[in-house]
Structure 1
Amino acid sequence: MLDRLTASLTENLLQRAFEPLVRTGQLEVVAPSGRTLRFGDGGRPQARIRFSDKRAVLALLRDPDLNFGEMFMQQRLRVEQGTVYEVLELILRGAKHVPVSASVRLLDAWRMRLRPLLQHNRRARSRANVAHHYDLDDRLYRLFLDSERQYSCAYFEQGDEDLETAQLAKKRHIAAKLLIEPGQRVLDIGCGWGGLSRYLAEVAGASHVTGITLSAEQLAGAQHRAAQSPCGDRLEYRLEDYRDTRGPFDRIVSVGMFEHVGTQFHEAFFRQCHELLSDDGVMLLHFIGNSDVPDFNNPWIERYIFPGGHIPSMSEFTPAIERAGLVICDIEVLRLHYAQTLRLWRERFMARRAEAVALYDERFCRMWEFYLSMSETAFRYQDIAIFQVQLARRQEAVPLTRDYIARREAALKTREAGSGLVAPVMAGAAKIRAGSV
């Protein structure tokens, strides 16, 4: 009798949790008792999940932000039909309009209070946070990134380009906004494997590009590729915190790094950029931003993927820019570009998943699949986008209208063909598609 009552209570809790969320498509939820609950209108997509035990159900309902991923990693929540991406899509595409419970609101409020502690990214913690994610086996990133190792949002000019084309377009778009002229010195903060900095030297014509990173693995990769570049003498890479860099530089670029600074250090970051930038200098900051009110970092992402990370809202970072004495010359919001990038990464990762299992293990691959899937749904159905913020010391440093961006992109595209850059990039894409890299 007690077991039947417990099973009935668990099924009732699942019904109440999923019914408001899944309105279109179809999600089947198999309770620990074996009973199947169906939600939605029977359309697409369709997926089925199974809970192995009632504690897994209670864990999910108590703290869905953290425990959905944990239950999936532990296989206490199994996807029996469809993919975990489709499960998340069914749940999240209508979630903004569903009120959260009082207990979840209290948990959210507590996490907002914890933000300063979790984002206290002083030098030692910043380096440890970067090592947690970026110092993984380099062969893992080969499985799903483009040949130039661009681990940031691509730029889809048409919307259906392949990954290599879109990542090249991203570098071209950024270089155009930087307004690089011959003889200028450039700083790349958070340079990754050096793909963008090589482009700025080889194609955009920078006289010297300094790339700084806190990842030893990325530093080694950037230095190795710089040695093979025809402009290797104009490329320099250092294992260095941005707070320790000395200038001046004519141009500063930072792609996918600002999310790791932390709200407490926004002002220090922008003051340092102001100090490093020449009087006529221009800076381009490309990062994941929140188009809604300030929020906390997803707790599952915080624990397993990007400790110390934060997706800032406009109201959080713009005051720090103002106080640092920098001028905002342009803000562009790239909507859905990262969703498409993540879809391509996820498809490439899943196509070579067996290789990832050989590098790590099954649990790691479930974690990585959930990370890519959850990130894609966040960019599609939640208020997350890419912000490109152009900054300067003086407002006269940038043309009056945005027409120059298209003109410079066209000129850069011509230089790409003349530099021989496009053919190696496309050859690298062919090797990745063939699984030989």
Structure 2
Amino acid sequence: MFQEKLRQGWLDRSGNFGMISALLAPVLLASAGGAVDVAVAYNTRVDMQAQLDAAMLAAARKSGKNAQELEARNFLSLSAEDDKINETTGFVLTVNADGSITGGYEQAVETRFLRIIGLSSFKVGVDTTVAASAEEAAGGNGCIYALGNQSQAVLINSGANVKSTKCEVHVHSSSNPAFIMNAGATIDTAKFCVKGANYIKNGGTLSNLETRCAAEADPYAGKMPEPSVPATCTTSGTMDGQNITLQPGKHCGTTFNGSPTITFKPGLHIISGRMIINSGATVKAEGVTFYFPDVNSEIRANGGLTFTATAPTSGAYKNILMFEKTSDASNNRYPQQYIFNGSKGEVLKGIIHLPNRDVTYNSTTNQTNNITLVVNTIIMNSSNWKIEPLEAGGTTSTSGLANPRILR
């Protein structure tokens, strides 16, 4: 009888073991199969990173954020609607303050074994940041950047006439109103992008306006090679004569009497304080960079000026026509006025980087100006202004990154 009870007890316990085994089987399967699912997700992530790297390098060669995003999506075989209709896939492209671009790419990788315990997929994400070489600049086809987030960051007065086939205007203000346009003005550019939604338009013609637009960041922020400012002045005070030639160096509080022809020799000219050029003067500055070491330094022309200025095509200041010190936070806090008064005729070529200036533009161009103008705010008065992006081929190009590299 004892042996019979022992045999029955063993059968009872072996039944319990069978039940335990049945309960543990899914856990054991999930544990072993989970390693397979994790390996699949990891390999998918590696593939996604390679795809995104290639997509962002291709995108960086395009002009402007919209074209860059479209190129990346095409490379990844994603339609523009994928983010809306497919919750398992997502892509976003961001233009950074330094001009580089970052792409973020996500996919949901389905599991085969871990779904047993309720985990049906892994969310896998990668990102890639791409930048240009130091002498190149991003910024798409932007020609005018008004960075100030304040009311009336752009004022377009009657008589302003701006014409461009490729240039974009990017207004960062989201205040009310972000800009004001008065009757009798014509602004015909490829794009007029305004971050805010509120504006006042009293008439005139404004082509390709986009509100609530993702205004592109300053493409040159942190990239300008600020020079050391000499303690002594190369020139200073009042200068007389009909023909005056200035060598590169530091010019301190300089005033030119009469209506001379002023020739700036090629190189870096540091303008310390106010340089005053009287009406009727002619300025020639080819292969020249003007640097303002503080917000109180400027070239002040008193109207009736003929002004021709082109940036260097090589060297440390390649394509930089005018720029100011921006590395000093205390200097940046107090934007000052800057007036372009070359009303008889003006030819400009290069980057004009004055993010701490409230610019007033009163000039007429004799031919198309190839410029990128970065300011705090801008007033466009009666003027005839033809502008296009900087040309490619030996010059800084705003049509994408010529030799993009991955920063990750």
TM (norm. structure 2) is 0.25
TM (norm. structure 1) is 0.24
Question: By percentage of residues, which structure has more strand?
Answer: 2
| Higher radius of gyration, 1 or 2 | 2
Question: By percentage of residues, which structure has more helix?
Answer: 1
